[in-house]
Every structure is written in structure tokens, then in C-alpha cells.
Amino acid sequence: RTKVGVLISGTGTNLQALIDQARRPSSSAEIVVVVSNRPGVQGLKRAALAGIPTRVVDHKLFGSRAEFDSTINAVLEEFGVELVCLAGFMRILTGTFVRKWNGKLLNIHPSLLPSFKGVNAQKQALQAGVRVAGCTVHFVAEEVDAGAIIVQEAVPVLVGDTEDSLSDRIKEAEHRAFPSALELVASGTVCLGKDGHIEWK
């Protein structure tokens, strides 16, 4: 099975969906370590409850992005990680890190990319007045929230939606999209081609 490291910054509901997926006997993935840049977050408790080793790499304790990223990289290597999932990880990774993990680094974003990149994607969707929102799992490229798309799921925007109600609906979709994208990549069904586009085997 493919050894997976998950990077988080918070609640970890997506992490939980990945844990539940990787527990299935049919899964091609095994989560070997969870790394958080914030101490004490709920995602760390979820990992511990599932018996997965955890590490905190607090970005506030580092003088530069490069040092922070190389510490994360060292943890991933220590655990023999082959595939990395960013599950609500709210730090932007350096080009060096992204190039090192090219084709092995997945991110989930709460919009139908390429719409609404960056922070507050749900708020951006509400402000734009779109009637369809959703989530995207993609390979990470150096440009933020770009990179080849693996899975997307759409959800409706309903009359009276708030940022919270829309975020909750998107999260339900995320909890299906991320596990299925993980399986596609961990099983080798999908990979990142040399031209930066997705290849299906």
C-alpha cells in the first residue's frame, strides 16, 4: 500500500474522511503520519485516536519558509511517505518543496477551480452570486490553487445560504471527493503526466 502523510492545520474533518477510507481493506493507501503546523488542533486528536503517529511543526518557531518546509520534508522522509495530502493545511509551501513532491502532493480546495482561488473561497462564491459551488482535489503546482485537477464535486448554492451553511455543504462533498482522489492516485490509476496534465491508466 502507498504510504501517505497528511498535513493539517485544524479541525481535520477531511483527515477523518481519509482515515476512514484508508481503513478499508480494499484501500491502496496507508496513512503513516499526520503533521500539523498548529499545536492542539482537533485533527491531531483524530489521528491519535486512529493510532496514527503525529508531529507538530509550528511555523511560528521558524525564521523562514525554507526551514519550516525542510523540517516537514524531514518528517515525511522519516516515515517513508510516498504521497502527501494537504487536508486543510493553511500554509503556502515553497517551490523547493512543491518541486520535490511533484506528482505526489494533493490538495483540497473549497471551490470549483479555477474559480475562487485563495482564502475564503466560499465567501467569494457567495459574493459572485454563482448558483453552483463545490470542491476540487488537485495536484499541487507552484502557482497557488493551480495544478492538474483529479476530482471535483459540485453542490448547489441555496437561497439564504451563509458562508457557514455553504461551507458545511461543500465539506460533505469534500469528504467524498478527497478519499476518491486519494484512491485514484495511491492505486496508480491516475498520475501527473510530464506535460502537467492528468494521465489515466
Pick from 72, 87, 140, 177 the residue near ligand GAR by CB under 6 A: 87
Residue nearest to ligand GAR (CB): 88
Alpha helix (H) ranges present in 57-105? 65-78, 95-100
112 contacts ligand GAR (rule: CB under 6 A): no
| Shortest reach from residue 30's CB to ligand GAR, in Å | 19
Order of strands across the sheet that contains 132-139: 54-56, 29-36, 2-8, 83-86, 105-109, 132-139, 149-156
Contact 139, 106 (CB under 8 A): yes
Pick from 10, 134, 147, 179 the residue near ligand GAR by CB under 6 A: 10
Give the nearer residue to ligand GAR in terms of CB position, either 109 or 138.
109
Report 132-191 residues binding ligand GAR (CB under 6 A): 171, 174
3-state secondary structure of 31: strand
Give the nearer residue to ligand GAR in terms of CB position, either 74 or 154.
154
| Shortest reach from residue 169's CB to ligand GAR, in Å | 11
> Which residues, 6 or more positions from 68, have their beta carbon under 8 angstroms from its beta carbon?
37, 57, 59, 62, 91
The residue written with cell numbers 502527501 in the block is 84
- Catalytic residue, chosen from 59, 109, 138, 175, is 109
Pick from 2, 14, 21, 37 the residue near ligand GAR by CB under 6 A: 14
Question: Catalytic annotation on 138?
Answer: no
The residue written with cell numbers 503520519 in the block is 33
The residue written with cell numbers 474559480 in the block is 115
Residues of the shown chain interacting with ligand GAR in the complex, contacts defined by CB under 6 A: 10-15, 43, 87-88, 108-110, 171, 174
| Residues acting as catalytic residues | 109
